[in-house]
Chains A and B, each alone.
Chain A
């Protein structure tokens, strides 16, 4: 490429939740800017929560995201329960994990097969892909439906479930209600293992980065709804110390705030981080699936995140079956409590990574301050860094090729921009 000035625009990056823009500037053969621009109209959730009863936080914050409402329900419950000194008994904790398994399955499968895989196979979408890969798409839809089946039964509906509250649930399912999910989940477990194999044979860019991974870690389980905050550079903190570790900054090109460590470091949240920091907590079949897909215990190639998501789908299916088989309804659907004044902290593992909530509540039970940090917001900086590292050695490649791989690189993160974003527009400026 010898031209000195060149501008390419892609009006909208597709197959992500919400919309934003990517800006690449190339000047005299040097990359001078790689910005993920987020223009989602602000919806001001942290402001509108002020004056609301703390018991309303789960239903309200679920509306931040239609693709991972369970994550919002779970993180807000965790934070308010922390504030009230509430701990839920094992049957309720197990049901919450089962609900989260449902969301991981449907969200990961949606991302893997409908949003991300078309990039690798060269289709604009899963529907076009279905013409030549019909069995694969139909299998994926059926696995996704098995996950949604859990959310619909336990939550009442797939999107914005209604059965979750502080302290537990409104109504506990009976063993007989859960049992019919079992056959389909068992089928999905086998199908997910098989579906991972052709994905392992995809042609992945040769690209690795030395990320600082951050995820939750729990004494005995692969992290979903609880745990301490740990990182690949050695932090091990209670969730209440989140704000000491990561702080948010407003950058002009994004309505979604950027997060950095006190030392200015950029961290990576999501499946790669969970997997790297909790490899020893994988279920047996998930570990075998990772091996069969050729994954080492730490994966630093973000393009392989599609495989790690697949491993987590296997894990979530295996966990769902275990939880259904072991389920014995408790005495009460929810632990009784009275709101009290104070500040509470909660974090859970949304499919895209750690989702942090903090609430301060007054004597009257009303929220006076709320802070919510979505994983995509934290990952923005690492996405920009990936793009810089990927684009710099590839500046000689044609724009179309560069653009395609940049879009794939963004989709590696399954960014959920609707948590804050609007219009993803790719501009390549060559000067």
Chain B
């Protein structure tokens, strides 16, 4: 008797640090169980077995920064029933999206002796700017718990239960005193999507926004607080412009304070 076919999983990488797909390998306790529940058809970081599509679920890490990758993501989409982006690069362009405000030709000259040998787009854009995306997992990196929840939900055919509230909510749930109110520490928690477990305030530092903007954030109100703490506008701009600089809510607020970074 043939066992029912397992869902076929593929993991893809675009411009990124590999950290989000590594999160899967860091699920030490669950890794073998996950591998039992799906057919890992393509996961070059972990396996030299590379099976052709179509795939039931594609996890996509990284942003689109070259003409070649702009073509490649179309192919990934065409072969995938569900396409899920994992992490800040794939969902918001990543740290490399800082180039979107600058002259990339100048950047090539800074880094490379022969900029003419380098093929790269002027922008770093999220996957959703190019193809339809079914789910997005935030974070730099993604949280392991969310990644496992997503895979479990997709395997069970239900909608993943992923928080859309703010980091503040997780901070309260964790019982951490508000670093912004109690200590005057600059914190992006009020405008940042939950998912990390509010780690930074628990370690006595402000949230630096690596999960990107929450739904309906109010960064203008937060900025007033941060300016009142004595942050200058350029520093405020940099605060919003890190790993999710190209997410509109963060990018626009940064632009309002520091138009020429």
On A, residues with C-beta under 8 Å from B are: 11-19, 40-48, 50-53, 56, 59-60, 63-67, 69, 106, 110, 114-115, 118, 124-128, 130, 137-138, 141-142, 144-145, 148, 156-160, 162-163, 165, 169-171, 249-250, 252, 255, 257, 333, 407, 418
- Is there a chain A Cβ closer than 8 Å to B160's Cβ? no
Q: Are B107 and A44 in contact (CB under 8 A)?
A: yes
For residue B220, give the distance in angstroms from its CB to the closest CB of chain A: 23
Q: Are A162 and B26 in contact (CB under 8 A)?
A: no
The one of B14, B108, B199, B205 in contact with A157, judged by C-beta atoms closer than 8 angstroms, is B199
What does the 1/0 interface line of B25-51 toward A look like (CB < 8 Å)?
Answer: 110110110010000100111111110
Q: A125-B46, A148-B26 are in contact. Are A156 and B199 (CB under 8 A)?
A: yes
What is the CA–CA distance of A60 and B208 in the complex, to the nearest angstrom? Answer: 11
For residue A45, give the distance in angstroms from its CB to the closest CB of chain B: 8
The one of A48, A60, A130, A418 in contact with B99, judged by C-beta atoms closer than 8 angstroms, is A48
Q: Are B203 and A19 in contact (CB under 8 A)?
A: no
For A72, give the chain B residue with the smallest CB separation: B17
What does the 1/0 interface line of B164-188 toward A look like (CB < 8 Å)?
Answer: 0000000000000000000000000
The 9 closest A-B pairs by CB, nearest first: A66-B19, A125-B47, A124-B49, A14-B48, A47-B107, A250-B113, A145-B28, A66-B17, A170-B205
- Is there a chain A Cβ closer than 8 Å to B204's Cβ? yes
Contacts of A124 in B (CB 8 A): 47-49
Contacts of A11 in B (CB 8 A): 50
What is the CA–CA distance of A162 and B139 in the complex, to the nearest angstrom? Answer: 13
What is the CA–CA distance of A51 and B140 in the complex, to the nearest angstrom? Answer: 22
Residue from the set A125, A145, A171 with the largest chain B CB neighbour count within 10 Å: A125
For residue A246, give the distance in angstroms from its CB to the closest CB of chain B: 15
What is the CA–CA distance of A110 and B196 in the complex, to the nearest angstrom? Answer: 23
On B, residues with C-beta under 8 Å from A are: 13-23, 25-26, 28-29, 31-32, 35, 40, 43-50, 65-66, 69, 94-96, 98-99, 102, 104, 106-108, 110-114, 117-118, 120, 124, 140-141, 144, 196, 199-200, 202-205, 208, 210, 235, 238, 242-243, 261
Contacts of B31 in A (CB 8 A): 127, 141
Q: A47-B107, A50-B110, A162-B200 are in contact. Are A110 and B32 (CB under 8 A)?
A: no
What is the CA–CA distance of A407 and B44 in the complex, to the nearest angstrom? Answer: 13
What is the CA–CA distance of A69 and B32 in the complex, to the nearest angstrom? Answer: 25
Q: Could you list 27 examples of A-B contacts with CB < 8 Å?
A: A12-B50, A14-B49, A17-B45, A18-B18, A40-B15, A41-B120, A42-B118, A43-B94, A46-B110, A47-B99, A47-B110, A48-B102, A53-B235, A63-B243, A65-B18, A66-B141, A125-B46, A126-B46, A141-B28, A141-B29, A144-B28, A158-B26, A160-B19, A250-B112, A257-B112, A333-B204, A418-B16
Contacts of B46 in A (CB 8 A): 14-15, 114-115, 125-127
Contacts of B205 in A (CB 8 A): 162-163, 165, 170-171
